[in-house]
Amino acid sequence: MLAWFASLPDTYAGWKTAMSDATGATEDLLHVHFGVLIFVVVAVAFRRRMHSWWPVSLVWAFALANELVDCFAADWQADASALDVLNTVFWPTILFLVARRRRIHPPIGR
């Protein structure tokens, strides 16, 4: 049982590489897509708006959990991990901040 659990990070890394190979997208691009996908799916599934903390918080949680699993893989690198987190959370965080700005500062004349 312990050996199976210890092999999960490498299995997960292999799965991500296979997904990259199958789609032709780089792993960096997959991080961008999955970050936005998680943001939208969480907003819709939990009936939250983009200015809610829920969707962006879960994107950050998934990104950090993904890197935590990756750090147990054989070929983990800290600088690549930081870039993965940035790629995953960048656009969801921008969308969240824009939505918060519109909510806090409504357009003039409305």
Instruction: Give 15-65 pLDDT, tens digit per residue.
Output: 888 988 898 999 899 999 999 999 999 999 999 998 999 999 999 999 999
Neighbours of 90 (CB within 10 A): 16
What's this model's pTM, rounded to 2 decimal places? 0.81
